[in-house]
Structure 1
Amino acid sequence: MLKLEANWEFVADTVMGGVSNGQIATQVVDGRSATRLTGMVSLENNGGFIQMATDLKQDGSALVASNWDGIEIDICGNDEIYDLRIRTDDLDRPWHSFRAPFRATAQWTIVQFPFAVFEPHRTDQGFDPAKLRRIGIVAVGRVFQADIAVSGVRLF
C-alpha cells in the first residue's frame, strides 16, 4: 500500500452556470478525521454535480502508479451512489475522465477500485497508470443531498 496525501478542494457545476451548492470540511465523522463533502445537487441551468478533488502530487505533475493495481479509499456516506473519477496527463479537457460508480454506505468502508474498472468518459484515450494526476469524489447526475466523508486514500 502507498498512502496518498489528499489536499481536497471543492468544485461545483457553478463553473458552467449550474446552481448546485455544497462545501467540504475537515471533520471527525464516526470517530475518524475525514474530509466531508456535503451539499445539494441540482439539474437546473444544465448543472448536476458537486465534487471534492485533489491532485495526487503537490506540484500537479503525474504520479507514476504503474506498479500498483488500483486506488483504495476509506469512505462513509449516506447510502447514495457517487463516482470516483480519475484524470491522467493524457486528458486535456475538463469533461474527460475515467469513472467508477460506488455506493457510500453509512458505515466506514474500505472500497477498492482496480484500475481496470474505470470507464473512459468522453475521451478515446486509454488509461495509463504512469500518468495518474488527479482524483475526485463526485455527486452527480440527479437531484439529491450529498454527504460523503473520506478518511484515507491509498494505492494498492
Structure 2
Amino acid sequence: MGILILGTATAEAGETLAEDFSGSPETRWDYVADSVMGGVSSGQVFFLTEGDVDFARLTGTVSTENNGGFIQFRRKLSDRPTSDTAGVRIVVRGNGEQYFIHLRTKGTVLPWQYYEAEFKTTESWTEILLPFSSFKASGAMLRSTPTPTGITSIGVVAYGRDHQARLDVSKVSFY
C-alpha cells in the first residue's frame, strides 16, 4: 500500500494535475464494467458537487460470476507525466473497501494488461500517495513497474471480489 496522508488536497510544485472533476469531467472519463467481456458486474459513475468539492462517485455491485469482477472509470491522458514523476496522488473517501488505481502504458497492448496499486478507503476524505514502485504488473510480459512517460491512461477500479462499491474521488494527479 502507498503512503497515507490525511488532509485536504492542494497543488504542489512539480505536480501534474490529471483531474479535479470540475468543468465537465464526463467528457474526459469513461465508465467500463466487466460486461464488455461477459461479466455481470453493474454500476455507474456520477460527477457531483458537495459544498465546494467536485468529485466522481463510483457505485455498483462487483460480481465474479461468469469470469467477471470489475467496474471502473478511466481517463486517457493527453499529457503524460514527466520522467521525474514519482507516483499517483489521489484524494478519496468510501465505504471501507479496498480499491485500485490501474495504469495503462504504451507497453500494455492487450486489454487485460495494466499496472495496479491498491488502497483502502474510510468515510473521511483521505489523501493517498501511490509511488510507482507500489504498482504491480498484471502479467509477466510487462516491466515490473510503469515508466511515467509511457502512461497513457489511469483508471479508478473496484475489482477482484464480490462486493458493493461506493468510492468518491476528488483529486487525481501525478507527483
Q: TM-score, normalised by structure 1?
A: 0.91
Alpha-carbon shift at residue 29 of structure 1 (Å): 4.7
1:103 matched to 2:120: yes
Give the aligned partner of residue 37 of structure 1.
58
Q: CA deviation at 1:109?
A: 0.7
Distance between the aligned counterparts of 1:87 and 1:34, measured in 2?
Answer: 22
Q: Secondary structure at the match of 2:142?
A: coil
| Residues 1:25 and 2:25 are matched in the alignment | no
Counterpart of 1:17 in structure 2: which amino acid?
G
CA contact (8 A) 2:93 2:123 kept: yes
- Corresponding position of 2:22: none
Are residue 69 (structure 1) and residue 86 (structure 2) matched?
Answer: yes
Flag as ranges the 4+ runs of structure 1 deviating above 4 A.
none
Distance 1:111 1:66 in 2: 21
Equivalent of 1:79, from 96, 103, 110? 96
Write the letter of the residue equivalent to 2:159: V
Given candidates 135, 141, 146, the residue that maps to 2:154 is 135
Alignment coverage as a number of residue pairs: 152
Alignment gaps of 5+ in structure 2:
1-14, 20-24
CA contact (8 A) 2:16 2:81 kept: no
Paired residue for 2:137?
Answer: 120
Distance 1:108 1:68 in 2: 24
User: Equivalents in 1 of 2:82, 2:34: separation in Å?
Assistant: 29
Query: How far is the alpha carbon of 1:2 from its aligned partner?
Result: 1.6
Contact 1:8-1:35 within 8 A present in 2 as well: no
Q: Which runs of 5+ in 1 are unaligned?
A: none
Structure-2 separation of matches of 1:142 and 1:64: 31
Deviation (angstroms), 1:30: 7.2
| 1:10-34 deviation per Cα after TM superposition (whole angstroms, max 9, x unaligned) | 1000001111100001113576210
More strand by share: 1
Amino acid at match of 2:39: G
